[in-house]
Amino acid sequence: MRQDWFAQARFGMFVHFGLYSAAARHEWVQSYERLDDLDYRQYFEHFDPDLFDAAALARTAKRAGMGYVVLTTKHHDGFCLWDSALTDFTSVHAAGRDIVREYVDALRAEGLKVGLYHSLIDWHHPHFTVDWNHPRRDDENAHELNRGRDMAVYREYLHGQVRELLTEYGEIDYLFFDFTYPEAKDGWAGKGPEDWDAEGLLALCRELQPGMLVNDRLGIPGDFVTPEQYQPTSPLERDGVPVPWEACQTMNGSWGYHRDNTDQKSATLLAQMLVDSVSMDGNMLLNIGPDGRGAIAPRDAATLDEIGEWMRLHRAAVIGAGHAPFTPPREGVYTRRGDRLYLSLFTWPLGVVHLPGLADKVSYARLLNDGSWLRTSVSDPEQQADLMTPAGQAEGTLSVHLPVRRPDVLIPVVELTLTGE
């Protein structure tokens, strides 16, 4: 199945890079600040990604334990990071570089899966109609701007650019379309599947790259769903059938480089979000926004280094793991890979952690970070009053005895070998 590698990888990197990176105040800066093409042109004229190093980016993702990377080929502003024949609003015309080509080659050299993001929206294209997201929605006589604009012309352009990406860069493993918003708002229409010819666009993807995963944001079902900036609380299903999913998360709430945004999530929180996703059979796609010169921001690099060191020791609890059919203790979550059950402890208990229902199902326990053995015990409910430890545990509970001192890692993980019964 085309999803097999995706379920194995579990952890990927999102990369938002474009003209907005130089603006340094959110990837939606053009819309938020109502900038017209002339206002925005300065970022095109000064686009200079001299520090964008695709090989270093790929190595960083691999060190962090990620199995795939997804790059913004074009965001909503319409600026393209490849040598498109359909527009001159590209990185090649601005800076003489085909960023997508550099990126694809670098990922393949590191053995990582190649993912592309492509916006369905294009505020630069003269036939993309003004709607409630468009930067010019508040212009005087804004509704007059749509006179003469033809979405059929834009659709042809959209499909043509997708064809370029899927025929000129070899095998592509993953395509993230973004996004469909059919509801009306503030007197403006939105954009629905018919605006993209979603069925035709998906068919084009299947024709050109039959093994490629396509997400759910065309407004029609895709290969996986993409909760953004929130975490599901249980495995996702549709009509009782499990649905592959991927939580898209930022370092600080912004996808593009935002110099003055200091709401940085800690490496510990992000690692918890990752194992939480895996515990519910999901993936996590963690974003970085390179700065205006294309470099990974130092704060993002430091966080990735911390996560990478944790993954070096604990990757078995993430890569190829998934949901476990056991009730975890209140201190953490379970992930499972074959006959190994992994307990990621979000809080560190005093001396012992009690695992309901596992009394006869575990043959060995150890801390994953250093491989050190952990004693286990099963109490006799009839003798609990006399022994005093542990008290009040339900029959069938396995007690794992822990050191008082918490291991110095982002999240301690207990590996339990299951008996197979």
pLDDT in tens, 44-86: 999 999 999 999 999 999 999 999 999 999 999 999 999 999 9
- Per-residue pLDDT of 353-366, as tens digits, reads 999 999 999 999 99
Q: Average pLDDT in the 204-223 region?
A: 98
Q: Is the distance from CB of 30 to CB of 40 less than 8 angstroms?
A: yes
Q: Average pLDDT in the 174-191 region?
A: 97
Q: Which residue has the higher pLDDT, 388 or 178?
A: 178
Q: How far apart are CA 196 and CA 184, in angstroms?
A: 17
**pLDDT of 421 over the 70 cut:** no
- In the 8-state DSSP scheme, what is residue 145? G
Q: Given this model, what pLDDT does residue 384 score?
A: 54
- Per-residue pLDDT of 336-345, as tens digits, reads 999 999 999 9
Q: Given this model, what pLDDT does residue 385 score?
A: 52
Q: Given this model, what pLDDT does residue 33 score?
A: 98
**pLDDT of 118 over the 70 cut:** yes
Q: How far apart are CA 132 and CA 139, in angstroms?
A: 12
**pLDDT of 222 over the 80 cut:** yes
Q: Given this model, what pLDDT does residue 379 score?
A: 77
Q: Average pLDDT in the 250-255 region?
A: 97
Residue partners of 214: CB distance under 8 A and separation at least 6: 175, 177, 202, 205, 222, 223
Q: Average pLDDT in the 106-134 region?
A: 98
Q: Given this model, what pLDDT does residue 279 score?
A: 98
Mean pLDDT of the chain: 96
- Per-residue pLDDT of 271-323, as tens digits, reads 999 999 999 999 999 999 999 999 999 999 999 999 999 999 999 999 999 99
DSSP reduced 3-state for 222: coil
Q: Given this model, what pLDDT does residue 346 score?
A: 98
Q: Given this model, what pLDDT does residue 391 score?
A: 56
Q: Given this model, what pLDDT does residue 383 score?
A: 58
Q: Please provide the size of the chain in residues.
A: 421
Q: Average pLDDT in the 266-275 region?
A: 98
Tell how strand 352-355 and strand 398-401 pair up.
antiparallel
In order of their start, the domains of the chain are 4-317 (3.20.20.80), 332-418 (2.60.40.1180)
